[in-house]
Structure 1
Amino acid sequence: MNYIDAHAHVFSHEANFLSTARYIPDYTASIEDYIRYLDLNGFSKGVLVQPSFYGTDNSCMLAAISNYPERLKGIAVLDNDTSISTLKHLDEQGIVGVRLNLFGLSCPNLNEPKWQQFLKNVATMGWQVEIHAPVDYLVKLLPLLTQYSIDIVIDHFGRFDNKLGVEDLNYGRFLEILDPSQHWVKVSAYYRLDNKLSIQNAVDAFELLKNHNMEDRLIWGSDWPHTQYESKMTFYKALSDFKKIVNNKTLMNKILTQNSAHLFNF
């Protein structure tokens, strides 16, 4: 199998974390362990995503990619005044996009000149913008990003309200905004959508995403090492439950191979 894992993290518990971090791990998630999980579960490629507690210090992720440059790519977290020369240098090191992790932060004003220039530079690089945000942020941000020729990747089904599920009114608005010519959705980390770790919210959301013509734009990530859910989740369980959510072998294989290969140019 040549599956692609579109979302995982590596880090060391001995690193310097942000003082404002919402969560700080007390263990190390090494690149060697991650590669082992890829191999055990039939994955040839993986995409590392910069975790929020590192801020804009992408060095741990870059070091991991440098050890396995044929197998890994990365999504960085950067300040919006990062120069295009820095973007080019990061591109040479395997970075293919920038992440906006907005949980715990105010919703940014993407109409500010600094943001506009940054997004133009990201578009020039051919990078993607990955957004991890509450769904009420997504309905504000996605319309502002239509002016850029850029792939927009939405984390974890769109992160609707845990209690409301897909009945969340803003989730309905989000689904109506989705455009298969620009947007991609990670059908990953279902356990972040329901405090009981039920797959039902994810099943409901998956069906709605299919109904909005997103089958070719769905990708999956393990979310390894499942921060804050380590005692309840494993790579194998995340993959097994994903297969139950999709409940269609052909579509499952498409999400794990063809869709991600297209987005990440593997």
Structure 2
Amino acid sequence: MTLNLPSAACNAHCHVFGPRSRFPYAAGATFVPKEDAPKEALYALNDSLDLTRCVVVQSSCHGFDNSATEDALASRPGAYRGIALLPTDVPDAELQRLHAAGFRGVRFNFMGHLGRHAPIEDVLALAARFAPLGWHLQIHGDPSLLTDLAPALRRCPTPVVIDHIGRIDAALGLDQPDFKALLKLMADQRFWVKVSGMDRITRLGPPYADAQAFARTLVSEFADRVLWGNDWPHPNHAGPMPDEQQLLDLVAEIAPSQAAREALLVHNPERLYQFGDTP
């Protein structure tokens, strides 16, 4: 199937690393890249793929210092948005400053390899403070999180975005409990999901036929609350590095109609990340 990429398409999940000479990696970071992945490389990739909008997600290698991400947004104001990593006691003034810089949400990692987790009640208290900004909570976690934290997440006063198809195991099939838990969450209108990370949940490798079924199901059933990103430069990736053009071309497989692709790549990110608003 050929991808007819709509205008104003968005890469809604990627990262920048360094350069370490200007943006040093955090002391004690649980993940430190072998190579820098600066904003210039991200711009070049997105431009080559005709992805004119982008959401840069702060990486754990930089900890709570969001400077590298902020710098990437500053060079492309309005077209690039950011998701921050923040301590739960961050001052309100810093939230306001980050909003003016183009940030639109906060990510919390609940993956075992990414270190200590913030208590969920503290996370929800922070969400209540950034709710007036129109921000959302982004959650990256082990599949068990979809069950374990579901009752708490349903109390979140903001939209909640689940990363990478909930990090389920594609080998276990569509009827697995973890995917059913994700579908149950998605039945609540406050939840969104990123159909990024097919290359992470696959057990077959490219073109990720086992993972495509999960993404296709989510796009079909929750067309107005799905997002896509390529996850460049693929931190902590266990398998062979994905081909960026192939990842984008697979959008045609998981979102077969032009209307579905426009929702996935244009309308949904525009709404969630406030593209078109100032700044």
Q: TM-score under structure 2 normalisation? A: 0.85
Residue matched to 1:7: 13
Asked if the contact 2:104/2:136 (under 8 Å) is kept, the reply is yes
> For the residues of structure 1 that align with 2:96 and 2:42, how far apart are their CA atoms?
27
Question: Gaps spanning 5+ residues in structure 1: where?
Answer: none
- Would you say 1:150 and 2:151 are equivalent positions? no
Q: Which of 199, 206, 210 does residue 191 from structure 1 map onto? A: 199
> For the residues of structure 2 that align with 1:124 and 1:142, how far apart are their CA atoms?
23
Deviation at 1:234, TM superposition (A): 3.1
Cα pair distance change 1:106/1:195, threshold 3 Å:
farther
> For the residues of structure 1 that align with 2:124 and 2:270, how far apart are their CA atoms?
28
Fraction of identical pairs, as percent: 28
Cα pair distance change 1:135/1:179, threshold 3 Å:
same
Amino acid at match of 2:242: M
Asked if the contact 2:137/2:159 (under 8 Å) is kept, the reply is yes
> For the residues of structure 1 that align with 2:35 and 2:173, how far apart are their CA atoms?
32
Cα pair distance change 1:170/1:231, threshold 3 Å:
closer
Residue matched to 1:110: 120
Residue matched to 1:236: 245
Q: Which of 202, 215, 218 does residue 226 from structure 2 map onto? A: 218
Amino acid at match of 2:86: L
Q: Secondary structure at the match of 2:253?
A: helix
Amino acid at match of 2:14: A
Asked if the contact 1:31/1:64 (under 8 Å) is kept, the reply is yes
Aligned length: 262
Amino acid at match of 2:273: F
Q: Which of 193, 206, 229 does residue 215 from structure 2 map onto? A: 206
Cα pair distance change 1:123/1:145, threshold 3 Å:
farther
The Cα offsets for residues 108-160 of structure 1, whole Å up to 9 and x where unpaired, read as 5423xx44431210212221111111121122223313333311111111111
Cα pair distance change 1:164/1:262, threshold 3 Å:
same
Question: Gaps spanning 5+ residues in structure 2: where?
Answer: 1-6
> For the residues of structure 2 that align with 1:85 and 1:146, how far apart are their CA atoms?
27
The Cα offsets for residues 69-102 of structure 1, whole Å up to 9 and x where unpaired, read as 1221100000111121111111111111000111
Cα pair distance change 1:55/1:41, threshold 3 Å:
same
> For the residues of structure 2 that align with 1:261 and 1:6, how far apart are their CA atoms?
10
Asked if the contact 1:139/1:170 (under 8 Å) is kept, the reply is yes
Deviation at 1:66, TM superposition (A): 1.2
- Would you say 1:250 and 2:270 are equivalent positions? no
Asked if the contact 1:123/1:148 (under 8 Å) is kept, the reply is no
> For the residues of structure 2 that align with 1:45 and 1:68, how far apart are their CA atoms?
9
Amino acid at match of 2:250: D
CA RMSD of aligned residues (A): 2.2
- Would you say 1:70 and 2:78 are equivalent positions? yes
> For the residues of structure 1 that align with 2:124 and 2:241, how far apart are their CA atoms?
41
